[in-house]
Each structure stands twice: as C-alpha cells, then as structure tokens.
Chains A and B, each alone.
Chain A
Amino acid sequence: MAVFSNSRESSIVSANTNRDPLIECSDIIVDFGLTRALDRVSVTVYPGEIVGLVGANGAGKSTLARVLVGEVPHGRYRGSYRISGEEMRFRDTSAAHDRGVALVHQEGAMIQQLSIGENVMLTFEPSRYGIIDWDRLHASAAQALSKIGLEADTRSLVQDHGGIALMEMAEVGRAIARGSRLFVFDESTSALGAEEVRSLLKQMAALRDSGAAIIFVSHRLDEVLSISSRIVVLRDGKVVMDAPRDGQTHDSLVEAMLGLQKSRQPTSSTRQKNSAVGRQDAALSLQGFFVRRSNWSSVSVRSINLDVYPGEILGLYGSLGAGKTELLQGIYGLLPEVTGGELRKNGETIPIPDNPRQAIGHGIAFVSSDRQENGVVPQQSVLDNLLLGRHRSGLTRWKALIDAEAEASITRGLIDSLGIKTAGADQPISDLSGGNQQKVIIGRALLNQPDVLLLDEPTRGIDVSAKQDVYRLIRQTAKDGTAIIFSSMEEDEIIEISDRVVILRDGRQVGVVAGCEPHELLVRAGGAIDP
C-alpha cells in the first residue's frame, strides 16, 4: 500500500495553525428518537487539509456528514456550526450548496443522458437571453475539472464513459464550478476498483492543494491513512480521537474505533457450539462460485468457497460494495447470466438457479436488503404480502385456487409467531412500521420451509427492538435446522449472531473465522491482510 505515500504532506498540518478554520462545529448533538447519534461532537476543519473521519457502523460518521451538508437541517441538531466564523442554519442541502459545502455521493448523482459538461454545470448553465451559451458552458466545465487534474471531453455523454469514478469526479467538478470550499466524500471509494480508487485519491490531493477542505468518510482505513493529514475517530456518537495522521497506524485506529472492547469475550463461546459443522454434509456448499460484473451487478465476486451447515448461522461480513448482495442474489438465481461455479446442496451438485422460482424449488429462500424495492407490495394487505408467491402446498387447491381458510389460519399463526404488530391480516402493509414490514418479508421466506435461508442485511433501517425480534427469529429458525447465511456490514451484530464469519472485500473472500473479535473483523475487511 505504498502507492499513496507520496500524497502525504505533514507540512499542511503545521500550516493550519496560521490560518482561520473553514468549518467549526462545536457540541453538536443529534437524537434519533431515543438513540443519541451524535453526542457533543466538536470538529474543526482548515482549508487545504484532508480530514479522515472513521468509526464503526453506527458511530455517527454519516450523521455528522449529513449535518455538515444540510441533510440534517438546522433545528434537528443542537450546538453550533460555523463556516468562516459565521453561524449556519441550513434548511436543506441546497442551502448548504449555496454556502460552498458539497457532498460527493457514494455512486455519484449524474444524469446519464446528458454530456459531462451539462452535468457539471447543471442548474447554473451560462446563458444569454435564456439560450444556453454552449462554448462558455464547456469551457467552465473543463476548467472546473482541470482543477482536479481530470481531462475529459466535456461534450461526450456520461453514459458513454460509464464507471462510477467518472460520475463522482463530475460531481466534484460540479461542486468546484459552484465555488464549493468544503467537500464531504462519503464512502466514495466503496464502489470503486483499485485503479479507480487510486485516481480518485490523487484528485482529492489535487483538490486539497488548490486550497479546499476535505472530509473523507470511509471504512477503508488504508485509504484514510494514505491521504489524510488529520484523522477524527467517532465512537458511539462521540469524538474519541482527533490527531494528526502521523503516528497513527491501522491498529491504533481500530483500537480507537472499538475502545476497550478488545477484551470482550467471543460470543460464540457463550453459545452452544453448533454440532453439525463438519460432521454432516453442508446444507449449501459453494465451490469457486463467482458473479461477473454486469449491468445488474456492480461488483464482481470472485471464486467463493464456503459451506453452511444445517442449524448454522454463517455471517457474511464486508463493507458496502464488498459483493455481499451480488453473492447472495447470485445464489438465489437473480443474476443467471453472470454467475458460475459449483453449487452443492446436501452434498449433491445442483445447477445454479435461473430464477428465484427454481431457487425456491431447491429449498433456498432469500430476503433482500432493500425492503421497499424488492420486498413489500405496498398496495396489498399483510396477508397477501406474507403469502406472496404461494409456493407452499396446502395454501392452494389444485395449485390454483386459493383456500381462504387455510390462508387466514396460516397468516394468523405467522403473525403470532413472528410477533408482527398489525391490526389484522387485512391491514395494508404500508400502514406497518419498517420493522414489522421486515418481519412480514422474513415470514414470506420462512413460509416455504427452506433448507437454506439467505438474509441480506435483514436489520437495515429498522429500530432497535425490531432488530432484537429479528435476531430471535433467526436464532429460532437456525435451531429448527435451517442453514442461514446472514450478511451485514455491522461488525457488532455479525459477531453477536454468527457461528462463523466469512469476510468479503472487493468481491473476494479474505477469510473464514469462527468466534472472532470486532477488531479482527475490521482489520481483515479493512484490507490489512492482502489476499
């Protein structure tokens, strides 16, 4: 990882003391319901520096970024937020834009069908009498892009270039053209390949050298270490470290992120060891399983070898863009043309499913990480959502006619056993809270009595008590003999619930561990161990 070492300049840090700070946050407090996301956070950023912002999931780094860019509006947070000494009261993100604060999205928010120049100059196109001055537009766009060392044909369409890296850079270009001074990069490298990451980091350095202030939010500690001049570590909503980059190492950051949790006992020892592991055939076994990069899968997953046994919960850990979703969707038959490798079920080789129906036929069930997009049918009732697919025999007569009584009693049973809080089976699912909707979707997967249950971040976006319900449900299902793969990017929950953990990074399997600690997990997924 010596590639980035040239972009480290400690002189910047010392120079800061002579300048006025660009951003001053003091005692920022943000509450979401009963949870305190940020607890008296104070951060100062000077022009011409890159501040790395790191922390475990839920530590509050995204929340802090959202306060800075106005996504958490004034009034939702307490404390003071000043730019160049002036108190800010942003109503929304466009107000923050006007004051020179720009967020660079994870995947870049660009309009594919427009040219690069149009995208860079979107909403402030130079014009005369309402007619766009194309020459001026492209000149301004090119000038903005040249500041980050990017030379692209601004007249070519974004879609002809493809690649998230270019979209992100065009977004940075847009922010430069608007005169932004603070750039918040929120996990901008998570969806990029190694080559693209390198050029993005180089451009961040160029941006810094032009006098802008940069906050770099990232899971990837190597990248943060390579480019930041200062590093701020958040834990449980508090700043636990704010120090110059020099003198910091991977280990010191991880330690700060996790605090004294290092001494915590591996949870698997407190739980009954799974006796099935290794003694019988794996319920599902992957040999050299891969997913190619395509229109449907933004990350390529390479050569995965894993086994999951009946009654076992196998954790699948990795940050955003590590390939968890692609791997699980590939197994479930959602990416039929780009998957390959060997799939074995109870010791017998089965073809990789062509569609979800075949996967269900093989006893494989799946819960998507995007509940709204791939889970609920908002117009339909709890009952219809719970039973969607109706693959289980006994629900229908002659596989076609609905048995209303059977449906009602099965639904009543599931509502009780899953603890779904609803006024009745006929209630529209859109009336339920997110956690209860998620229980319905999990119930749908369990209805088919699968041998293998694939859960893709099943606790995303649901509240704490619903999370506990989901964990209980998953443990109970495993106890009944179902093999479970549970994917998550939250190290705490993955350690809490899994018997073993498979770690993914950039679509590659970097390890299988049993009963590990958060520390080890973070280190491995963060890339300290090169495959």
Chain B
Amino acid sequence: MNEDVGTTPIQSRLKSAQHGANGTRRMSLSERLLTRSRSIVGLVIAVLLVWLVFFITTDGIFLSDRNIINLMRQTSVTAMVALGMLVVIVQGEIDLSVGSFLALCVTVIAMVESSALMPPFMTIVVALALGAAVGLWNGVWVAKLGIPAFVATLGGLMAFRGLALALSGGRTLSGIRDEIRSIGDAFISGFSLWIFLALVLAVALAPLGRISRSDKKRQVLTTVAFAIAGVVLLTWATVSYRGLPVPVALAIVVAFALNWALNNTKWGRHAYAVGGNRSAARFAGIPIGFHVIIGFMLVGMLTAVASLIFVGRLGAAPPEAGLFLELNAIAAVVIGGASLYGGTGTVMGVLLGALLMQSLSNGLSLMNVPSAYQNIASGMVLILAVYLDVVSKRGGRPFVRL
C-alpha cells in the first residue's frame, strides 16, 4: 500500500533508505500469498463452497438445470444495478437512490404501458431517458452543487419512492404488453442461443490473443480458465433446460461491455483515478465533474434496464418494488472487492459478489429457511467477506490500530 501516507518525513526517509538497490519494495512470501489469494479466486472458491453445501443439503436440487437458470435470472436484476453502482463506487461516490428509483421507474413503465398510447419500443426509450434524467439530477447535486453523494441520494431514496407512491396511488399497476413482458420472462433458445454462446466463448477466449505480449501470463490463463468453466456451465444449463433467459443475456452483454469500457477507454481508466486520488486526477487535468455525472447517469440507466426486466418478469408494478435493492447492489460491489473509498473494483468481482448473495438466499429458500434467517445469513456473509478482504489487504493482520 501507500507507504508514505501517515508517516513523518523522517520515517519515510528512513524507509526509503531501506529500499533495495532496484528501488522497489520487496514483499514477503506471506504478503504475496495473501494478496494473490484474495478477490477473484477467493470469491470463486466462496461461491463454489456455498454451492457444494447447498448441493448436499438440498439433495442436488440446488444444482439442477432449472434452479441454475432460476438463480441466474434472480441474480441478473441485482447484478445489472450493481454494475452501475460499481462505476459510482470506483469514483468514490455512492448511490442510495437506486431502489426507490426502480419503484418509480416500474410505475412509470406500467403507466405508459397500460395507457398503450405509444409503441412498446417507446416505453423502453422513456425508461432509459428517465434513468438518465435521474442520474443527471443526482450527479448535478453531487458534482456541481457540492452535496455529499450519501446525502443527495439519501434524499432521492426518500423522494423517488414517495413519487412512485403518489403516481400509483399505492396500488399495484398492471397491463404490461407482451413485448415488454418478454424482456423479463422470455428465453433465447435454438439457433440464436448457440450463436450467443459462441460469441460469449469467443469473448471469453479473447485474452489469449494478447497473452504473448502480457507480463501476467498466469493471471490471463486463470481468467480464461474461469471463463471457460462459466461458459460450460451456462451451456449445459441452458441447453438442457428451456434456453437462456433474456435478463441473463442482457446482464452478460452489459457486463462484457462495461468490463471492456473500464479497461480500454480513457473514461474507464480515468474513472479509477477519480476515485483513487481525486486531487491527483484534478491536477492531471481530468474533468472530475464530468466523470461523476456520467457515473450517476450510467447507474440510472442500468437501473432503468433492471426496471424493464422487473416489470417484464412480474407483469405488474408493485409499489414496494426495489426495496433494499440499493443495499444489495452495494453489498455485491463491496463483496466483489471494491473499496467504498474508491479507486478499486472489477466487473468480475461484482458479478461474483451478486452471485454469492443470490446463491445464499436461493439455497436457503430451497431449504425452506424463513426469510428472517436468510437476512441474518446474508448480513453475516457480507461482513465476513469484506473482513477477509480487508485482512488480506493489510497483510494478514487481524486487528487494526486506530
């Protein structure tokens, strides 16, 4: 970590005297093992462990093709929002308003749909525009008017749900047309499924093309191995069941696109700098306000997509939609290894974090555990996962000195 922070000039001078002749700091073996084992690999192991336990306790039902598809579909809404939340958190901000905004957005979608004044295509446009507008609202309060994101979006959390209730009158709205419903409950099957799977495989194998030029061959190989395992699992479950649910396909596409953008665009690389050291980013001439506003707009639009999935799946818009969604999304991001102080976090981590949380509630539901206990389990897993991550980041020391 940042060795000069919190040390006096004397200490840092003493430290720099200890540096090796090559000018770099040597890590101890245990330090290296701990930093290696954390995040992605650790998360995969955690997910596999949870799956193994549920496989045994549910007599194999948990890992049936039907339940795997179900689990993926349940994960897709949280994952979609969490991917947007990742960008916001990477930049050192937070958005607490997404759950309430989902309630507002599904209400608006249901109202537009039931009025049937516009073609279904326009419903999607309206939802996305609403998401962008709400993101702009949050972003302007934070980046232009200087309200802390926690407060600005806490206000949104209250106001948007109130607005949703005012619009719906507290009733569950229905009358969703088939085109919108298909976003939530349709399956991709047959020829198009094979094409989709082939594309996913191609993208998953893409890092191999650059392996000859990469310094981290082993890391690339590990990533590709995981990706292939994921594709195999996806292929098996979708082909043997009814196909690939549209929400899952959407989540996969968004995840790939975001992962690509974060690693291969100027915007993406600078997003990490905005959260990692905002002052340094400003000194380097990066437009901070632009980045922050774009982040809020992105999470707003992805929440709008999640709203379309939600409405499509349910065929109705209940006023309590999206309750605690913001907290589940933040939990997924944080379990995925991102720091709430900004500067770190990966798409892969977020997907695994969302999957871990959803696996727990899915498995416990299969075991008929009451939801009260499910919540307790989720909460404990959240704390434990972040604690393990924190311990590994500070080199294995279990306690912190304040």
Taking A389-B285, A399-B266, A426-B216 as known contacts, 12 extra A-B pairs with beta carbons closer than 8 A to each other, sorted by chain A number, are A355-B282, A368-B283, A373-B280, A377-B277, A377-B343, A384-B272, A384-B273, A421-B24, A430-B2, A432-B24, A433-B23, A461-B12
Bin the interface of chain B by size: 35 or more
A33 at the interface (CB under 8 A from B): yes
Whether B212 sits at the interface, judged by CB under 8 Å, is: no
B11 smallest CB distance to A (angstroms): 9
B59 CB-CB contact with A under 8 Å: no
Residues of A within 8 A of B10 (CB): 32, 63, 66, 71-72
Interface stretch of the complex, out of B13-21, B115-123, B319-327: B13-21
| 24 pairs from A and B in contact (CB 8 Å cutoff) | A72-B10, A334-B283, A357-B287, A359-B285, A373-B277, A377-B280, A378-B277, A379-B276, A380-B272, A380-B276, A388-B280, A389-B270, A402-B264, A402-B266, A404-B264, A425-B215, A426-B215, A431-B24, A433-B25, A436-B23, A436-B24, A444-B284, A461-B4, A461-B12
Query: What 0/1 pattern do residues 1 to 37 of B give for CB contact below 8 A with A?
Result: 1111100111011101101001111000000000000
In the bound complex, do residue A377 and residue B264 qualify as a contact, i.e. CB atoms below 8 Å apart? no
Interface residue? B126 (CB, 8 A): no
Which residues of chain A are within 8 angstroms of B9 by Cβ–Cβ distance? 461
**Chain A proximity mask over B244-270: 1 for CB below 8 Å, otherwise 0:** 000000000000000000001111011
> Smallest Cβ distance from A453 to chain B, in angstroms?
14
Number of A-B contacts (CB under 8 A): 144
B281 — which chain A residues lie within 8 A by C-beta?
377, 388
The answer to whether A377 touches B276 (Cβ under 8 A) is yes
Contact among A33, A356, A424 for B285, CB-based, below 8 A? A356
| A435 contacts B by Cβ under 8 Å | yes
Known: A378-B2, A389-B285. A435 touches B16 (CB 8 A): yes
Q: Which of B216, B264, B266, B287 has the most CB of A within 10 A?
A: B266
Q: Contact: B279 with A373, CB < 8 Å? A: yes
Say yes or no: is B47 at the interface (Cβ < 8 Å to chain A): no
Chain A interface category by residue count? 35 or more
| B238 interface contact, C-beta 8 A | no
| In contact, A71 and B8 (Cβ under 8 angstroms) | yes
Q: Which residue of B lies closest to A34 (CB)?
A: B17
> Is there contact, CB below 8 Å, between A400 and B266?
yes
A46 at the interface (CB under 8 A from B): no
Contact, CB under 8 Å: B284 / A389: yes
- Asked if A346 is at the interface of the complex by the 8 Å CB criterion, the answer is no
Residues of B within 8 A of A377 (CB): 272-273, 276-277, 280-281, 343
Whether the pair A430, B1 counts as a contact (CB closer than 8 A) is yes
For the complex, what is the distance from the CA of A63 to the CA of B11, rounded to whole Å?
Answer: 12
Judging by beta carbons under 8 Å apart, are B16 and A433 in contact?
yes
**Contact indicator per residue, chain A 40-73, by CB within 8 Å of chain B (1) or not (0):** 0000000000000000000000010010000110
A357 vs B23: C-alpha distance when bound (angstroms): 32
Contact between A434 and B4 (Cβ–Cβ < 8 Å)? yes
* Distance between Cα atoms of A379 and B32 in the complex (Å): 16
Q: Given the complex of chains A and B, what is the CA–CA distance between A432 and B24 in angstroms? A: 5
Chain B residues 55 to 87 lying within 8 A of chain A, measured CB to CB, are none
- Look across to chain A and name the residue whose beta carbon is closest to the beta carbon of B275: A379
| A391 contacts chain B at the CB level, 8 A cutoff | yes
| A435 B23 Cβ-Cβ under 8 A | yes
| Residue B154 is within 8 A (CB to CB) of chain A in the complex | no
Q: Which of B16, B276, B344 contacts A463 (CB 8 A)?
A: B16
Tell whether B186 is near chain A: CB-to-CB under 8 Å.
no
Bound-state CA distance A71–B273 (Å) is: 34
- Among B5, B286, B287, find the residue whose CB has the most chain A CB atoms closer than 10 A: B286
Query: Please, which residues of chain B bring their CB within 8 A of the CB of A66?
Result: 8, 10
A423–B22 alpha-carbon span in the complex (Å): 9
Q: Which residues of B contact A389 (CB under 8 A)?
A: 270, 284-286
Interface flag for A366 (CB, 8 Å): yes
Known contacts being A32-B13, A374-B283, A402-B265, is A388 close to B270, with CB within 8 Å? yes
**Alpha-carbon gap, A463 to B4, bound state (A):** 14
Q: What is the bound-complex CA distance between A384 and B284, given in angstroms? A: 12
Asked if A374 and B17 sit within 8 Å, CB to CB, the answer is no
Q: Which residues of A contact B22 (CB under 8 A)?
A: 421, 423
Interface residues of A in 384-426 (CB under 8 A from B): 384, 388-391, 396, 399-402, 404, 408, 421-426
A462 within 8 A of B: yes
CA distance A404 to B266 in the complex (A): 11
With a CB–CB cut-off of 8 A, which chain B residues contact A423? 22, 24
The distance in angstroms between the C-alpha atoms of A495 and B22, with both chains bound, is: 30
B25 neighbours in A (Cβ, 8 Å) = 431-433
Contacts of B213 in A (CB 8 A): 408
Max count, chain B CB within 10 A of own CB: residue among A34, A366, A427, A434 = A434
